[in-house]
Structures are given as C-alpha cells and as structure tokens.
C-alpha cells in the first residue's frame, strides 16, 4: 500500500515534467519565429504583382548599374564648307565684265562706273598685277565694291592648256590679288574661254579640288578687234541681249571705254539691274557645263 508521502512525491514529479515540456515548447516556438524573421530580412522583397486582365504578371525593375548603361557613340560631323547659294533675281540682271587689266585705263573705267553708279566684275592678269604703278586702281576697284577675279599670269594658250599650267597660274594670280587687296577671290575667267581651253577633265578636276570657279560669258562684244569703232561694240551687245540674265565680255580698251556710257544707258532703258559677282552666290556659267565649276 502506497503511503501519502509517495503519492505527493509522484505528483511533484509529474508537475515538474509538465513544466519542462511547456518550457521546451515555448523555447522552440520562440527560436523558430526569430530565425524565420532573420532569414526573411536577408531576402529581396518580392514585388507586388500588377494586374493585367485576368493574368497576374510580376513587375520587376532591374537595378541600374554603370555597366548596364550603354553610352551613345560619339559621332563626328564632317567639316564642310558653307554651301554656295545662287542669288535669285525676279527681274532682269546684267553683269558687265572686263578682262586683261589692270591697265593704264583702269582708273578711267572706274570713273565712268562710279559716275553712273554701276558695279562691275574685273578679271585681271598676273603680269599686269605685278606692275606696282597699276596696283592702286586694283585696290580702288575693291574699295568701290567691284569684284576682282583672276585671268591667268601669261594669257598664253599653249602654256595654260597644252602644258597644263592653267591651275598653277590661276592660283598664282589669285594670290597676287589677295596680296594687293586683302580679298580672297576664287572666280577666274579662262583666256579664250573654257571651250576649247578646259576640255581636259583632269584640269577641271584640279580646279574643283582647289575650290576655283570659272565664268565664261553669254555675250561677246568683240571689242578687242574693233579699235576706233565703239558703235559696233554697242550694236554687238544690243543684238546679243536675248535673255533676262546676261554676262557681257569686254576688255580694258579705249574703244570700250568710249562705248561704256551708252552700253549702261541701253541696259537701263531695257529694265536691267547691274550686278556684281559674289562668291557666296555663284552660279554655273561655263561652256563645258561643268556643275563643279
């Protein structure tokens, strides 16, 4: 028979075991909760899905890193010259041009042009440009608004075309004009015209590479062979005027000087405006129909 003391001891033992079990369960639950919380904090947060129709699509935004950003390639734009834009005129326009200067008559031509308020284009020859006593009127021409272009150094057909010295001579002539006037002209007139002179494509290619432009004419006054006959020069020009834009070929000759006032009067009566060449508004005018010139 069990004694009361034995029963009491047994109850205490059971109660102690029960406490141990409760403590174990509590400690286990606490450790599990803390461990799960710690583990979850180390994981990236899962973004909430966005709804698109009936389908839930997770929307992830990848972090931007320096490596993931591509730089736009640097594109170097080619350096080009400013484009030449032809200046359009609504009315009639005439360009008076004079070859073979400077001469002893250059000052007198400038006097007539100044008195009648007309600008002109001069194509001057290197062998004359070298004469110091003629250079003051070259400077005067530029100061008064006229254009001075090149007309070769020698004016010799064989040297220029057969021996292919056209481009070197024109470069030398334009350099002389720059030295005298400070301008940088790039227009030249071929002695005897680009036909037959500039039939050679190689010479024309050299001109284009050098940025040199070429002008011929629409009206040949034939003044050079009409000594003492200014009236025929005037008649030739009147008969040759057939379009609304004319470029008149003349030379610094006494007969041309005598005819000049009446030539200007004729064009004014016909409603023409007088224009002077401008590098920025070049238009193609060569017998070779070469658009690069």
Read off the pLDDT of residues 242-254 as tens digits, 9 standing for 90 and up: 999 999 999 999 9
Q: What one-character DSSP code corresponds to residue 224?
A: G
Backbone angles phi, psi at 60, to 5 degrees: -110, 140
Among candidate residues 146, 151, 216, 251, the one labeled active-site is 251
Structure confidence at residue 26 as a pLDDT band (50, 70, 90): low
Distance CA 170, CA 188 (A): 7
Top CATH class of 94-281 equals alpha beta
Take residue 203 and report the two structure tokens written for it.
């010479």
Predicted pLDDT at 199: 94
Structure confidence at residue 27 as a pLDDT band (50, 70, 90): low
Mark whether 163 is an active-site residue: no
Q: Where are the domains of the chain?
A: 94-281
Dihedral of CA atoms 148, 266, 115, 275 in degrees, nearest 10, equals -30
Distance CA 263, CA 93 (A): 14
Distance CA 17, CA 23 (A): 10
CA 66 to chain CA centroid, Å, is 39
Tell how strand 272-274 and strand 92-101 pair up.
Answer: parallel
Among candidate residues 99, 100, 216, 223, the one labeled active-site is 99
Predicted pLDDT at 92: 97
Angle between helices 254-269 and 230-240 (to 10 degrees): 40
Residue 124 CB contacts under 8 Å (≥ 6 apart), including other chains: 100, 101, 102, 138, 148, 149, 150, 151, 173, 177
Mark whether 100 is an active-site residue: no
- pLDDT > 70 in the chain, percent: 69
Distance CA 97, CA 252 (A): 10
In this prediction the pTM is: 0.71
Helix/strand/coil percentages in the chain, nearest 5: 45, 15, 40
Tell how strand 147-150 and strand 213-214 pair up.
Answer: unpaired
Q: What is the pLDDT of residues 261-282, one digit of tens each?
A: 999 999 999 999 999 999 999 9
Predicted pLDDT at 156: 96
């Amino acid at each position: 028979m069990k004694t009361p003391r034995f029963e009491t001891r047994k109850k205490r033992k059971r109660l102690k075991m029960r406490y141990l079990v409760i403590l174990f369960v509590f400690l286990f639950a606490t450790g599990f909760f803390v461990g799960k919380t710690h583990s979850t904090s180390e994981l990236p947060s899962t973004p909430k899905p966005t709804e698109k129709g009936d389908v839930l699509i997770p929307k992830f935004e990848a972090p931007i890193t320096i490596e993931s950003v591509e730089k736009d390639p640097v594109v170097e734009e080619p350096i080009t010259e400013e484009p030449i834009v032809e200046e359009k005129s609504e009315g009639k326009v005439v360009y008076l041009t004079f070859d073979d200067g400077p001469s002893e008559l250059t000052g007198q031509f400038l006097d007539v042009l100044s008195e009648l308020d007309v600008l002109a284009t001069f194509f001057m020859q290197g062998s004359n440009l070298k004469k110091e006593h003629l250079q003051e009127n070259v400077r005067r021409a530029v100061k008064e608004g006229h254009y001075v272009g090149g007309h070769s150094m020698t004016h010799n057909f064989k040297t220029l075309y057969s021996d292919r010295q056209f481009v070197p001579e024109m470069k030398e002539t334009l350099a002389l004009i720059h030295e005298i006037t400070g301008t940088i002209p790039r227009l030249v007139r071929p002695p005897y015209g680009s036909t037959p002179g500039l039939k050679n494509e190689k010479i024309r290619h050299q001109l284009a590479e050098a940025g040199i432009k070429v002008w011929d004419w629409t009206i040949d006054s034939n003044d050079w062979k009409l000594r003492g006959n200014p009236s025929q020069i005037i008649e030739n020009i009147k008969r040759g005027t057939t379009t609304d834009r004319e470029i008149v070929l003349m030379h610094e000759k006494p007969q041309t000087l005598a005819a000049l006032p009446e030539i200007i009067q004729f064009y004014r009566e016909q409603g023409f405006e007088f224009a002077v060449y401008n590098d920025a508004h070049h238009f193609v005018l060569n017998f070779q129909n070469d658009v690069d010139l």
